[in-house]
Amino acid sequence: MSRGAKKGENRFKKTQNELLNLRVKRLKNIVAPKMKSMCESVYFPNKTSYQKMSAKVFNENIPLNMKKMTHRTIAKNPNYWIILGPIYHNFFDSKNSLSLAQMKSKALNKMEVQKEITETKKQIKNILLENNALKTFIAKSNLKQNQLPESNTQHTNETINNLIATIDFLIKASDGVVEVDRNIRAITNLTDDLNGVLSSKISNTYFNILEGVMGETKEIKLK
């Protein structure tokens, strides 16, 4: 024969404790983390609005074996409020809480700072691009300035005449050692029997200048 509850004994105490433990566990594992994250971006003007939101989070996707909770239950039961209360006071107590206007101002200031950072990064990037372009320009300019000047392939008549006169002087100074034959266009070193004739690739230039083929040149007659 089952024994009934004694006089004054709460026969539902075990069930109530199980319900309490389940709610406490859900508050700790699900509601508290969500409310903490929410308080970082949402302003609650008072405890009631905070408690209502806590109850709403608690009741979302609640298991079938668990009863829904009202905000009043959270407010009256110290076992629940001791879990959620510190989060509210940490963000919204008299010392640390921010008004909605203050939160908006703080958010705007944060956006303004972020905008300035973005603009500064953009300016730095543009400066770096300009510096690189300047370096490239300077490098090209220095290279161009350091290039060897092109040889002047155009000679004046005076230069050519001086060259011919110098060659004629050397031929005369050789005292018959070098013979110049304009008929066959040959220059010969008489002391060398094997390789005495100067290559026509070289001597032809000399004769062309004498004959005026390479420009108007005053002809110098060999004596």
Give the tens place of pLDDT for each residue, 55-78: 999 999 998 888 899 999 999 999
Q: Is 212 left (phi over 0), alpha (psi -120 to 50) or beta?
A: left
Q: What is the pLDDT of residues 45-61, one digit of tens each?
A: 889 999 999 999 999 99
Our measurement of the distance from residue 219's CA atom to the centroid of its chain's CA atoms, rounded to an integer in Å, reads 71
Q: Please, are residues 102 and 43 in contact by the beta-carbon 8 Å criterion?
A: no
For residue 204, how many other CB atoms are within 10 A of its CB? 14
CA distance 29 to 24: 9
Q: Could you tell me the pTM of the whole model?
A: 0.40
Long-range interactions of 67-72: CB distance < 8 A, separation 24+: 67/19, 69/23
Reduced to 3 states (helix: H, G, I; strand: E, B; else coil), residue 106 is helix
Q: What is the pLDDT of residues 2-61, one digit of tens each?
A: 455 555 555 556 677 788 888 999 999 999 999 999 988 888 888 999 999 999 999 999
